[in-house]
Amino acid sequence: MLTFVDWNPDPTIFEIFGFPVRWYGLCFAMAFLAGFQVLSYIFKKEGRPTEQADHLLIYAMVATVIGARAGHYFFYEFPLLQSDPVRFFTQMIIPPYSGLASHGAGIGLFTAFYLYSRKYPGQSYLYVTDRVVPTVALGGFFIRMGNLMNSEIVGKPTDLPWGFKFYRDTEFNAMSNAEVLARHPSQLYEALSCLVLFFVIMWYWSKKKEKTPEGVITGWFMIVLFGLRFMYEFLKENQSEFENTMTLNMGQILSIPAMLFGLAVLLYSKKQHSTH
């Protein structure tokens, strides 16, 4: 019978001329590469120029980095803004970038999709988001696997047999390996959920894309993804100390408007469909 998983991977895969190649960086790159292949496939199947997928990828890359970085600081480092604004903005802008927030990335991405839809006539905002959300789900899988390889965003202690002992996590574990507690592999929970969501969306799109009103895929994606995120947060350690005094942590608070946005999109889609 499985008695916990000893998890101690080196975050660095190898070095090239002294420059470390890390698992998280590789997973981050794979998120965009795999997403681009999926988006190109979708555009090709729908008779759209695949060059537009190139342009959309650029929008997505810039928006992800800016949104995730700004989101981390405004959502999780806000006390620093109040105490030392200069240091707050300096750390947010100047590398190395050690903090990224998925909710911030989401805000950046959906803003970028709006700007993209305005530039390319014939593609409504919800048409674009419906085609892109499966790549976002796939990207979420790779990013959370990167978190797993970094032994970060760990779960709370558990006695379940699939608990992970994160030996490289020094924030919540004692320095002695003998005192390391088994924890929920929350990164793996989210990664697998994103992967399943990706396949479900792709199946639905392949079978019913002609009959599905614009916004339905986006709406359900937001509700399911952030609904799961809300639940998984109960199994995760807080990311910032100020969250310890909160009933709901920051991840849960930010997931609520995301789910409401998804619900609003569904209602809007239903209203638009009923008038045609």
Query: How many domains does one find in the chain?
Result: 1
Encode pLDDT of 43-78 as tens digits. Answer: 999 988 888 888 998 999 899 888 888 888 888 887
Encode pLDDT of 221-232 as tens digits. Answer: 999 999 999 999
Residue 192 is inside which H or E element, if any?
A: helix 186-208
Encode pLDDT of 165-209 as tens digits. Answer: 999 876 666 545 557 889 999 999 999 999 999 999 999 999 988
What's the average model confidence in pLDDT over 36-49? Answer: 92
Specify the 3-state DSSP secondary structure of 174.
coil
Enclosing domain of residue 92: 5-12+19-274
Residue with tokens 């638009």: 272
Single pTM value for the model: 0.89
Nearest to 144 by CA among 3, 92, 63, 136: 136
CA dihedral of residues 208, 212, 218, 220 (deg, nearest 10): -80
What is the pLDDT at residue 108?
Answer: 92
What's the average model confidence in pLDDT over 254-275? Answer: 91
- Check the annotation: does 229 bind a ligand: no
Say which residue, 272 or 262, is predicted with more confidence: 262
Please state, in angstroms and as integers, the Cα–Cα distance from residue 90 to each residue in 39, 75, 83, 93, 100, following that order. Answer: 35, 16, 13, 5, 15
What is the pLDDT at residue 1?
Answer: 53
Nearest to 109 by CA among 1, 9, 31, 14: 31
